[in-house]
């Protein structure tokens, strides 16, 4: 004769973990009861889930952790109570422990553990205050009430942390406050009041910078054109001098006894000396009342 199946009450059966526990209990042939706040919820997804429970032969019991009477009534119908409430409702399990103690018919209670060992975990804040310390307090309450219990430690559940990228209470990845800053660019933008290169402040000043760049480019082109024109003029002048120079004749020696490469320098020196003498009121070649020989000339003194 087959042993009679235990009647199992699941508290929090519509949650991330509870729905799987309810389905597994019904699949194993246990008379299963699920405690829910509303048997006809307004949420379409939750309503569809409850319909699937009813189709699998699961009994829905309306109740809440804040309603002590509904808890006691539900607990008296079960042999085993499994709590799968979420993180925010872990402290409220003391109410469920009180209802189990009052009913007095429960053979086994499984609190909402299913994670790390609360008595041996070395979690840091805020996990220590929100989860680890709270679960340890529930353990002490169960032990003090004298309720038969079993702690199930399955490790970390990724269905809790993966949608929130490690955020315990958030169900979505963390987002930046305000507008997301633009990525830096290696070229473009200026440093200054706008911040880094390529940021929004620099982008506002780009039109003015384009005008400055255009003006600098135009000035550079003008300077290049002037240099080119000067180079062409210099080449023209050199060509004209070369054409004016007589061909086929070698430069003659200077009759004044100077080398052919020096006459221009000598003429400049003579002209400068003559100009200084005329300004002083004397004659060319006379300075300070005394005759001085100019380069290339001989001075004859009267006797």
DSSP H stretches of helix in the chain: 18-27, 44-55, 68-75, 93-103, 127, 133-145, 158-161, 200-204, 206-244, 263-279
Report d(CA 279, CA 284) in Å as an integer. Answer: 10
- If residue 34 lies in a helix (H) or strand (E), which one and from where to where? strand 32-36
The tokens of 201 are what? 């402040």
Given a contact cutoff of 8 angstroms between Cβ atoms, the answer to whether 159 and 16 are in contact is yes
**Measured torsion, CA atoms of residues 144, 150, 153, 159, in degrees rounded to the nearest 10:** -100
Cα–Cα–Cα angle for 68, 168, 15, rounded to 5 degrees? 45
| Burial of 10 from C-beta contacts in 10 A (0-12 / 13-18 / 19+) | buried
DSSP 132: I
Q: Supply the Cα-derived Rg of the chain in whole angstroms.
A: 53
Report d(CA 107, CA 299) in Å as an integer. Answer: 147
How many helices (H) and strands (E) are present in the chain, helices listed first? Answer: 10, 7
DSSP 108: E
DSSP 42: S
Catalytically annotated residue among 46, 95, 101, 135: 135
The tokens of 185 are what? 């660019």
Report d(CA 128, CA 224) in Å as an integer. Answer: 74
The tokens of 170 are what? 């958030």
95 is catalytic: no
Residues marked active site are found at 135
């Amino acid at each position: 004769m087959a042993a009679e199946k235990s009647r199992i009450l699941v508290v929090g059966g519509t949650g991330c973990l509870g729905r799987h526990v309810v389905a597994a209990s019904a699949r194993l042939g246990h008379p299963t009861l699920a405690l829910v706040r509303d048997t006809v919820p307004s949420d379409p997804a939750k309503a569809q889930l409850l319909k699937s429970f009813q189709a699998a032969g699961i009994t829905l019991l309306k109740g809440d952790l804040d309603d002590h009477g509904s808890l006691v009534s539900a607990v008296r119908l079960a042999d085993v109570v499994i709590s799968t409430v979420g993180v925010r409702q872990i402290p409220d399990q003391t109410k469920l422990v009180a209802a189990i103690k009052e009913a007095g018919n429960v053979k086994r209670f499984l609190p909402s553990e299913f994670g790390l060992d609360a008595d041996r975990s070395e979690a840091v804040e805020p996990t220590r205050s929100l989860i680890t310390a709270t679960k340890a307090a529930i353990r002490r309450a169960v032990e003090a009430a004298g309720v038969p219990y079993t702690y199930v430690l399955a490790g970390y559940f990724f269905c809790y942390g993966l949608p929130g990228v490690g955020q315990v209470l958030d169900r979505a990845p963390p987002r930046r406050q305000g507008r997301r800053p633009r990525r830096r660019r290696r070229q473009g933008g200026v440093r200054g009041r706008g911040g880094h290169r390529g940021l929004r402040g620099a982008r506002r000043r780009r039109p003015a910078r384009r005008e400055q760049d255009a003006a600098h480019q135009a000035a550079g082109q003008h300077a290049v054109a002037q240099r080119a024109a000067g180079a062409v003029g210099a080449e023209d002048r050199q060509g004209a001098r070369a054409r004016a120079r007589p061909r086929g004749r070698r430069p003659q020696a200077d009759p004044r006894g100077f080398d052919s490469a020096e006459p221009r320098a000598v003429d400049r020196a003579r002209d400068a000396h003559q100009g200084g003498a005329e300004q002083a009121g004397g004659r060319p070649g006379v300075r300070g009342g005394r005759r001085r020989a100019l380069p290339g000339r001989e001075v004859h003194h009267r006797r």
